[in-house]
């Protein structure tokens, strides 16, 4: 049974899947991602024609079923072969960039509805995935944006998604910036990044530094994952807005019903 449920089972279980990958990164001693063979690492070109063709063939362009119908994305949907295919036949690292997670949906909705939050500001989208929140920031007038994700294939997906939304490609960085010195940003946004306890601790530490060094504003989108709700960061949050999730997102996320934007105030 598990054989034909590969990608359907994937969306509701981000913690276990991502957890494995992240532990691999951390214990490997590598500063970057574990996909060393991948040619798209770093800030280089995200236009490899073979990879582009693979992504185009194995995703569907959609704006349905999310909180932000104004953003088109290439995602893994039930109309894609690999949604139904055995997970081990997918030839790359787990495609978190191919799902528009509820935390990112809430953040993007908030930025689109409240452009003043980003207009003229520098914005870092940490753990950008499909890039939707970075795209929302751009649509709302952010002056400088960096989409950061340790998965180099996410870089390619973000580039394709910018194109879909008639935007110039956004700058992308695929280094693990949690190990690097802090840059100055007006705003850091994180959608659905608190799904693993070690990662949550690392992010909390990094975000505190960011706030105290540069007075950076930090907005977090989360649908109530236990690694977030049970984390000590809870004492340093102010609720900004809570959204009711659309039915398709609920179905694909194990019955999660809402997603909330939080303002981090250490």
Ligand X SMILES: C[S@@+](CC[C@H](N)C(=O)[O-])C[C@H]1O[C@@H](n2cnc3c(N)ncnc32)[C@H](O)[C@@H]1O
Site residues (vs ligand X, CB under 6 A): 14, 22, 96-97, 100-101, 103-104, 126-130, 132-133, 148-151, 154, 176, 178, 191-193, 195, 199
The residue behind tokens 């959609």 is 62
Least distance between ligand X and beta carbon 135 (Å): 11
Nearer to ligand X, 97 or 228 (CB): 97
Bridge pairing between strands 73-75 and 60-62: antiparallel
User: Could you give the dihedral angle defined by the CA atoms of residues 129, 86, 82 and 43, in that order, rounded to the nearest 10 degrees?
Assistant: 30
Q: How far apart are CA 242 and CA 260, in angstroms?
A: 4
Q: How far apart are CA 17 and CA 23, in angstroms?
A: 10
Q: How far apart are CA 165 and CA 96, in angstroms?
A: 20
Nearer to ligand X, 149 or 252 (CB): 149
Nearer to ligand X, 3 or 24 (CB): 24
- Which residue, judged by CB position, is nearest to ligand X in the bound state? 104
Nearer to ligand X, 97 or 185 (CB): 97
Distances (CA, A) of 48 to 31, 39, 52, 129, 167: 23, 9, 6, 18, 19
Least distance between ligand X and beta carbon 10 (Å): 11
Nearer to ligand X, 122 or 259 (CB): 259
């Amino acid at each position: 049974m598990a054989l034909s449920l590969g990608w359907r089972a994937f969306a509701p279980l981000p913690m276990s899947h991502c957890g494995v990958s992240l532990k691999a990164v951390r214990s490997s001693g590598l500063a970057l991602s574990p996909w060393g063979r991948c040619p798209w690492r770093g800030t280089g070109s995200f236009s490899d024609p073979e990879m582009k063709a693979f992504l185009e063939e194995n995703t569907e362009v959609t704006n349905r079923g999310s909180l932000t119908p104004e953003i088109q994305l290439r995602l893994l949907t039930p109309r894609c072969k690999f949604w139904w295919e055995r997970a081990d036949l997918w030839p790359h690292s787990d495609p978190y960039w191919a799902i528009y997670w509820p935390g990112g949906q809430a953040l993007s909705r908030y930025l689109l509805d409240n452009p003043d939050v980003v207009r003229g500001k520098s914005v870092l989208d940490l753990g950008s995935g499909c890039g939707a929140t970075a795209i929302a920031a751009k649509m709302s007038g952010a002056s400088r944006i960096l989409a950061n994700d340790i998965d180099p294939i996410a870089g390619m997906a973000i580039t394709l998604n910018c194109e879909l939304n008639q935007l110039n490609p956004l700058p992308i960085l695929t280094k693990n910036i949690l190990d690097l010195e802090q840059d100055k940003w007006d705003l850091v946004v994180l959608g659905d990044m608190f799904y693993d306890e070690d990662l949550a601790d690392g992010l909390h530490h990094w975000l505190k530094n960011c706030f105290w060094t540069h007075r950076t504003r930090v907005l977090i989108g989360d649908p109530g994952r236990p690694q977030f709700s049970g984390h000590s960061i809870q004492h340093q949050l102010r609720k900004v807005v809570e959204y009711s999730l659309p039915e398709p997102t609920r179905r694909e996320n194990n019955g999660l019903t809402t997603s909330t934007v939080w303002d981090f105030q250490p």
